Amino acid sequence: MGTASIVLNLAWRNLWRNYRRTAIMLVAVVVGVWAMIFMSAMMRGMVDGMLVGSIRSLPGHVQIHNPNFRDDPTVNNLFPSPNENLIAVLEQEDVVAWSSRVRVPAVVMSERNFRGVTLIGIDPVAEVSVSFVADDMTEGRFLLGTEDTGLILGRRLAERLETEVGKRVVVLTQDPSNEIVDRGFRVIGVYEAQVASTEEIYAFVGRSTLQTLLGIGGQVSEIAVLGADYRDTEALYHRINAAVGNRLEVLPWYELNRYLSSMLGMMDGFVLIWIVVIFLALSFGLVNTLMMSVFERVREIGLMMALGMKPGVILGQIITESLMLLGMGLLIGDVFAWVTIQRLREGIDLSAVSEGLEMMGAGSVLTPSLQASDVVLATIVVLVLGFLASLFPAMRASRYHPVDAMTKV
Amino acid sequence: MYAVRCIDVRKIYKQGDEDVIGLNGVSIEVEEGGFVCLRSPSGGGKTTLLNVMGGLDRPDSGEIWIAGKRIDNLSKAPLARMRLHRIGFVFQAYNLIPVLTARENVEFVMQVQGVSVVDRKKRSLEILSEVGLEGLEDRRPAKMSGGQQQRVAVARAIASNPAIVLADEPTANLDSNTARHLMELFVELNQHRGTTFVIATHDQMVMSYARRLIRMLDGKLVEDIDQEAV
C-alpha cells in the first residue's frame, strides 16, 4: 500500500514537472482518442444507414419461408397464411411489425417495353411499418388494401418501361400448375428507393389480388418480421424458430443477406485497424515523452534505487505515468467525441456525394452512431498498447545501476 | 558487534582498456555507534569503499557484513531491501526527490518500507524538528538552501533507524558555517541516538569531528587513527 501510494504520488507529480511537454502530449492523446471514437462513430453510422436501409428494403430482421423457397423462389414453394399460434408469436412485445407477402417472378409489359421483375403482393397496412415502399412514394398513391388492383413501380422501372402513373401495364407470371397467367394493372404510384437497383427489381400489388391471379388461396411466400434493433435479433429469431418448428424455415437478416453481415463484420475489423493505426502514430510521441522524462531524471532514479526502491517499482512508476497520461487523454477525448457526436445527431448532409453513397447502399444523410463497444475497444487498445509502448523507457529506467545513474552528468 | 565489517575487499574498474584499482584488499570493522571518517585524495578509494559498504556497488572479491548479515553475495532485490532497512545514505548532491516536499522526502523510505501513514507522518515531523527544520516541512527542495536540503537528507537517512549512515562528501556543496552545523548535527545524532556514521571526506573540518580517522591511498587503508586516544 505504501509503495503503491508513493508510486502514484511520484507518477502524478512527475507528469506535471514539465507541464508544457505533458500538455502537448495530452492534446495529442485527446485528439487521437477523439479521432478514434468520432471516426468510428461515422463509419458505424454509414454502415448503420446501409443496414437499416437494406433491412427496410424488404428483408426485415427475421423471415419465415417454405424451406425450399430460397432455392426456388417461385409460386411452387408457398406456405399457408399464419395460423392463430403463429400470429400469437408475432404479436408479442419484441415484434415491432410483421407482414406476409406473396413473391413471384413476373414480366411487366408496357405498350413500349417489358422487363422481368419480382412481383410482390403485400398487405399495405402491415407493410407500412416493415418496409420502405410507402415512405418513398414520390408520385401517385400507395396501395389501399390487399385487394387493391393498382400496381406500384420503382422510378427506374417506370422509366425503362416508358410508362407513368395512370397508364396500364400487363403483368405475366406462372401459376402453381406452370400455366401463364396475366392481368392488366393500372400504375397507381411510383417509388424511389435508397438503392437505385431496387427500383428496377420490385413491383408491388395488393396481396389478395395477386393470390387471386395465381389461384393460391391464402398461401404466402414469406413473412417478414421487424424487431426493435437489427443488432439484437437473436432472441427474436430463436423464439420464432422455436414456435414454427421444422415445417418452415426461419432466418435472421444476417443469413438472408450475407453481404450485409460480412459488411458488418468487416466494419468491426476496420474500426480496430483504425484505432490501432492512430495509436501507433501516437505511441511514438508517447515513447519520446517518456524517454525524455526518464533521461531528465536519471540521477533521481539512481537515488531512489540507492535508497532501496526496487527496480520493479521504478518500472511501475514510469508505466503509471504513461497510463495516467493516457487515462486523462482517454477521458477528455471521449467527452469531446461524445459532445461532437451529440451535436451531429441530426446527421451530416452529404447530398453532394449522394450518388457514391447510394452505390454503397447508404443514404445521403450520415448520422454518427456511437457504440459503447467502440469506446471500450478504444480504451483497451490505448491502455494495452500504451502499456507496451511505455515498457521500453520503463525497463531502461529500471535497469540503471544506482551508482552510475547518480553520477550521470 | 560491528555495524559494518569488510574483509579483504577488492574492486577493479575498467576505464577504457585500462584496469583501475578501486579497492585493493581493504579490511575494516566499524563498531556500532562509531563515528568514522574516510579520507583520501580524489581516486583514493573512499567513495568506492562507501559504495560497496552500502550495497550500491559489488566488490570483485572479499566479504561485506552489515549488522551481522553478509551482503556482498545478495542479488538485486534482497540488496535493495537491505539498503532500505539497514542503511541510511547522505550524498554530496542530488540528495532529494525534487517533486516531494521535505516531509515527503523524509517519509519516502518509511513509505517504501510500508510504515503506516500516521506513524510515518508523526516520525517525519519529529525528525525534521530534531534536525532544525521545523516549519519547513511542506517546502520542496528547490525552495530550500543547500544546508537545509542536506538536513532533510540526514533526516531521511535516520528516519528508519538504520544500522549505519553512510555519508559521501556531505559538506562538499555547503559553506563552512553550514557545514559545521551539519557536522554538529551528525555528532548529536551519533551521541544521542547511537547511530553509526561513516563519512567520506577530504574536508579537514569534517575530519576534526571524527573519533576515528582512516586514511586511504590507491585503494588501500594506509592509516587508522583513534582521534579520541590521540
A232, A256, A280 - which closes a domain: A256
- A119 and A201 part of one domain: yes
- A346 and A227 part of one domain: no
Q: What is the pLDDT of residues A241-287, one digit of tens each?
A: 888 877 889 988 888 878 777 887 888 888 888 888 888 888 888 88
Q: In chain B, where are the structural domains located?
A: 35-55+77-226
CA distance B171 to B177: 10
Residue A354: per-residue pLDDT = 67
Q: Is B161 near chain A, with CB under 8 Å?
A: no
Is the Cα dihedral A73, A75, A76, A81 positive or negative?
Answer: positive
Asked whether the beta carbons of residue A14 and residue B99 sit closer than 8 angstroms, the reply is yes
Residues of chain A with pLDDT under 50: none
- A242 and A297 part of one domain: no
Asked whether the beta carbons of residue A306 and residue B54 sit closer than 8 angstroms, the reply is yes
- The domain of A180 spans 60-256
Question: How many CA atoms lie within 13 Å of A350's alpha carbon, on the beta-carbon side?
Answer: 20
Beta-carbon contacts of A406 under 8 Å, excluding residues fewer than 6 positions away, are A299, A302, A303, A306, B91, B94
Helix (H, G, I), strand (E, B) or coil at A295: helix
Q: Is B89 near chain A, with CB under 8 Å?
A: yes
- A250 and A303 part of one domain: no
Considering CB atoms only, which of B96, B100, B112 is closest to A308? Answer: B112
User: Is A266 exposed, middle or buried, given 0-12, 13-18 or 19+ CB atoms closer than 10 A?
Assistant: exposed
- A152 and A283 part of one domain: no
Considering CB atoms only, which of A10, A305, A307 is closest to B109? Answer: A307
Asked whether the beta carbons of residue B76 and residue A311 sit closer than 8 angstroms, the reply is yes
Q: Is B51 near chain A, with CB under 8 Å?
A: yes
Residue A350: per-residue pLDDT = 75
Q: Is B23 near chain A, with CB under 8 Å?
A: no
φ, ψ for residue A189, nearest 5 deg: -160, 160
- Cα dihedral A237, A243, A244, A246, rounded to 10, equals 100
Is the Cα dihedral A247, A252, A254, A260 positive or negative?
Answer: positive
- A18 and A92 part of one domain: no
- A80 and A206 part of one domain: yes
Asked whether the beta carbons of residue B115 and residue A2 sit closer than 8 angstroms, the reply is yes
- Residue of B66, B83, B99 for testing the chain A interface, max A β-carbons within 10 Å: B99
Q: What is the pLDDT of residues A343-366, one digit of tens each?
A: 988 888 777 776 666 666 666 678
Residue A328: per-residue pLDDT = 95
Q: Tell me the pLDDT of chain B (230 aa) as tens digits.
A: 789 999 999 999 888 888 888 899 999 999 999 999 999 988 889 999 999 999 999 999 999 999 889 999 998 888 888 999 889 999 887 689 999 999 999 999 999 888 999 999 999 999 898 888 889 999 999 999 988 998 899 889 888 888 899 999 888 878 888 888 889 988 988 998 888 999 999 889 999 999 999 999 999 999 888 877 66
Asked whether the beta carbons of residue A1 and residue B110 sit closer than 8 angstroms, the reply is no
CATH of B35-55+77-226, one of 2.40.50.100, 3.30.70.100, 3.40.50.300, 1.10.640.10: 3.40.50.300
Q: Is A306 near chain B, with CB under 8 Å?
A: yes
Element (H, E) at A150: strand A150-154
- A281 and A248 part of one domain: no
- A242 and A298 part of one domain: no
Domain count, chain A: 2
Name which of A112, A45, A75 is nearest A340 in CA terms.
A45
pTM of the model: 0.75
Q: Is A311 near chain B, with CB under 8 Å?
A: yes
Residue B48: per-residue pLDDT = 92
Asked whether the beta carbons of residue A406 and residue B95 sit closer than 8 angstroms, the reply is no
Residue A134: per-residue pLDDT = 67
Question: How many CA atoms lie within 13 Å of B56's alpha carbon, on the beta-carbon side?
Answer: 27
- A337 and A197 part of one domain: no
Q: Is B91 near chain A, with CB under 8 Å?
A: yes
- What residues of chain B lie within 8 A of the CB of A1, using their CB? 114
Asked whether the beta carbons of residue B112 and residue A14 sit closer than 8 angstroms, the reply is no
